[in-house]
Structure 1
Amino acid sequence: MGSAKPFANVKNIDGSFLQGQGNLKKSNLKLGSTVIPAVPRSLNTGIGEACGVPTTRDQLHVVRDTAFAADYTAADDRITLSSTQVDAVIHEPDLQPTMDNNSDHVKMAVDLLKGTHSFIHSDARRPPARRRAGADVDMKGLFKSKPKTPADLVRQTRDLLIFADCNPDSRESKREEKFATLSKLLRELKQILYGNSEAEPVSEACAQLTQEFFKENTFRLLILCLPKLNLEARKDATQIVANLQRQQVQSRLIACDYLEANIDLMDILVSGYEDPDMALHYGAMLRECIRHQSVARYVLESEHMKKFFDYIQLPNFDIAADAAATFKELLTRHKSTVAEFLSKNYDWFFAEYNSKLLESPNYITRRQAIKLLGDILLDRSNSAVMTRYASSRDNLRILMNLLRESSKSIQIEAFHVFKLFAANQNKPADIIGILVANRSKLLRLFADFKPDKEDEQFEADKAQVVREIAGLEPREN
């Protein structure tokens, strides 16, 4: 059987035969002709090699004469075709199917096209196998493009971002079409990174997407083009940028490496607070980027840091709150970097902090500022800064004013900072003088000073502060 020629007989639709394998391509079959090779399993490989057709177990192969590209559907022994014409049947007489007469091949082909004929080899009569998924799909469906990989999606996104960045004057209809496709791609990328209600994200796909995203400046393009996207696309892009900061590729946060080499992107993100339409998107991106210590250090040491004292007081509440959240992240996440920054920039930083935040006419600004100040000074890594802050009479004056606030929440937070002045065992003489001069007022205040909820630690701290103030004696300068 192995020596039999795959194309012993080729029969045209008009009934004439084409002899031999070599004559098949030279036949009078027209471009697009449909050729059916009716062969048993033993010859599948031979036909596959000759025609370039994928071969599988006991399948009938339909070959179009267009470069002999595969176009077939099959389910083991039962074949259903969706073509409308059969132009030739390839038949091996030594291993023929149940129909012995060559003239019946055209009839068999027509039956196959109607889906009414079951092609069963004479040497392997067995019941039809369970139909595989997709066995009855239209033959054209088999030529659909393969699903795009995560890297493909990123490359397509990059091309559209380049278009958006470089073609501001292109025809309106063309731009709308391109941006609609871009929005769709961003949704798909977000779904790969975050998963959906039916499936968790796949780590391999996330890694592939991440690796491609930091090639050829796709990340930069997305940030630069963000103002040109619609609102939903901006939200998706913001989530993509945020997620990429956490993705590891071969145990490395490659986003950190990229941002260190493209640190000027932080200038764009910080300045985004000056654009009401972009502030919340760029702010969310910025907070995720400063998860990387080197990036946070850049922002802390840049001139942008001074801008936050103004951003926090912007009239737009949402933007001001977002800027405050970023400000807090910068001053609390990376302990060693923050301690170094505060030590180097103590004078200007706390001068701005006191005047613009703690003494702000805005209640929310004051409340957020005193809470953050406590978080900073009570952190052990900032002990040197705390000692310096608690030795300043100007700082003490501000804290005593905050203790007199009508807001209980501000009073409580101010107390947590004030106790540092009272507990300091090396109080300067001017600090002692102020505390002694205001002793009676302070003791009356603390007598009725209670949080809304019972707090044993607060009561213990208050008792210690009262003892310290009551026992103070004036000291000569």
Structure 2
Amino acid sequence: MAFWWKKTPKTASDYARLLSEQLNKLDHVSTIDNRRKIQDDCSRYLAGTKHFLLGDVDPEPTAEALDELYSAIYQLDLLYDLLTNLHDLEFEARKDVALIFATCLRHSRDNKFVTVDYMVTRPKIVSLILRTPELALSKNNASDLFLKAGFIILECLKYEQLCRLMLRDPQIWLFFDFAKGGSFEISTESFQILSSMFSVHQKPVATEFFGQHANLQKFIDKVNMLLAHGNYVTKRQSIKLLHSLIMIRAYNNLLTSYINSPDNLKLIMILLSDRSKNLQMGSFNIFKVFVANPRKSRPVLDIMVKNRDKLLHYLKSFNTDSKDATFLDEREYVIQEIESLPRLVSPNSDSTLEVSPQRLH
């Protein structure tokens, strides 16, 4: 691998040192030609570091040599510098940065993830990882930068310690905005991050995040914003995210709060009558949870009673061509539950419902 290097590294730590030196030069470069030269050097040194970490060198590095390299990476704060300069690196080099991060995170010794423990003591790295997607949107090649940063976030979320740190960072709320306002690639990546953030490590999410009322309500507001104002893809992904989370047993606080709100029910009823069959089905999967709740709040029960006949008319003709036995059983159950609701005596008593009656037919 010596051909990658203008200087042949004499020790394992030289890989990190030479790369760190080039990264630091990017902050002080004065001409385009000099910048390109430094970018080329960074690309070569990143490739060399990647191959060394992966053991793809001859001779294969020893465990002691790898430990030496990892120690140098930590001492030089190289992970932070790589993130800081990510936008200045070439396309292939950014791919190498993402791979180096993933490889470092997997590094273990004595049954401990060494890099994870190191990052816990350097919360500025975790904070910068979460800020990098937002910073990427102001740069050229925004989508590529965003996806590389997203990949690093997803790798971090595999480890509970790092997930806990991220859950405390207010930057996570911006991913709801990215999901709504970004390109298809950025929106999809944002939903993947949100899904991993709230589903991979359920215990800290349940106790440390959804256990706080302010977080719980803000999460519901953010999801509802996507459901009400997003495009088709955003709405479909939002419904999928919401349904998957309220079905997690540990998130009973989220489930209870969501299905006891009349405003949430109205929103789901509107989506239930959307022209898209996919949105109809996704909304039905949430609507049936409202119906199945044995302890409905009075406002939710009032809405169902006021719209009893409209809902029955709609549901009896809903997705009648389906061959899915599970869906057919669930639809029949929902119909039976709504039929069991009391009828209103006054013929005009449903006029107070804010959901447009036409949307339910």
TM-score normalised according to structure 1 size: 0.62
The aligned amino acid for 1:348 is: K
The aligned amino acid for 1:342 is: F
Q: Does 1:160 find its partner at 2:160?
A: no
Contact 1:439 1:469 in 2 (8 A): yes
> CA, structure 1 residues 173+346, in 2 after alignment: closer, same or farther (shift >3 Å)?
closer
> 1:353-375: per-residue Cα shift (whole Å, max 9, x none)?
21x21101411111111110001
The residue aligned with 1:342 is: 210
- Aligned-pair identity in percent equals 29
> 1:296-336: per-residue Cα shift (whole Å, max 9, x none)?
22322222133222221224322222222212221111101
Partner-residue secondary structure (3-state), 1:353: helix
Partner-residue secondary structure (3-state), 2:180: coil
Contact 2:210 2:253 in 1 (8 A): no
> CA, structure 1 residues 405+207, in 2 after alignment: closer, same or farther (shift >3 Å)?
farther
Partner-residue secondary structure (3-state), 2:112: coil
**Alpha carbon RMSD of aligned pairs, Å?**
2.9
Distance 1:281 1:218 in 2: 17
The counterpart of 2:314, out of the listed 437, 445, 453, is 445
Contact 2:315 2:331 in 1 (8 A): yes
Contact 1:396 1:418 in 2 (8 A): yes
TM-superposed CA distance for 1:452, in Å, is 8.2
Matches within 5 A, 1:209-224: 209-224=69-84
Partner-residue secondary structure (3-state), 1:264: helix
Matches within 5 A, 1:78-93: none
Matches within 5 A, 1:288-367: 288-340=155-207, 341-344=209-212, 345-354=215-224, 356-367=225-236
Q: Which runs of 5+ in 2 are unaligned?
A: 1-6, 345-361
Partner-residue secondary structure (3-state), 1:227: helix
The residue aligned with 1:257 is: 117
The aligned amino acid for 2:337 is: E
> CA, structure 1 residues 469+235, in 2 after alignment: closer, same or farther (shift >3 Å)?
same
The aligned amino acid for 1:163 is: K
TM-superposed CA distance for 1:221, in Å, is 1.4
> 1:195-239: per-residue Cα shift (whole Å, max 9, x none)?
67x99x978365554343223211111111212211111111112
> CA, structure 1 residues 358+195, in 2 after alignment: closer, same or farther (shift >3 Å)?
farther
> CA, structure 1 residues 431+247, in 2 after alignment: closer, same or farther (shift >3 Å)?
same
Q: Does 1:179 find its partner at 2:49?
A: no
The aligned amino acid for 1:368 is: Q
> CA, structure 1 residues 220+386, in 2 after alignment: closer, same or farther (shift >3 Å)?
same
The aligned amino acid for 2:26 is: A
Identify which range, 373-382 or 357-366, moves more after superposition.
357-366
Partner-residue secondary structure (3-state), 1:313: helix
The counterpart of 2:146, out of the listed 250, 275, 279, is 279
Distance 2:33 2:227 in 1: 53
TM-superposed CA distance for 1:405, in Å, is 1.1
Comparing both structures, which one devotes a greater share of its residues to helix? 2
Contact 1:290 1:330 in 2 (8 A): yes
TM-superposed CA distance for 1:187, in Å, is 1.5
The aligned amino acid for 1:371 is: K
The structure showing larger relative contact order (alpha-carbon pairs under 8 Å, at least 6 residues apart) is 2
Partner-residue secondary structure (3-state), 2:312: helix
The residue aligned with 2:354 is: none
The residue aligned with 2:342 is: 473
The structure with the larger Rg is: 1
The aligned amino acid for 1:350 is: I
Distance 1:206 1:459 in 2: 58
Q: Which runs of 5+ in 1 are unaligned?
A: 1-144
Q: Does 1:239 find its partner at 2:239?
A: no
* Equivalences, count: 326
The aligned amino acid for 2:101 is: V
TM-superposed CA distance for 1:407, in Å, is 1.3
> CA, structure 1 residues 207+412, in 2 after alignment: closer, same or farther (shift >3 Å)?
farther
The counterpart of 1:188, out of the listed 48, 54, 61, is 48
> CA, structure 1 residues 426+157, in 2 after alignment: closer, same or farther (shift >3 Å)?
same
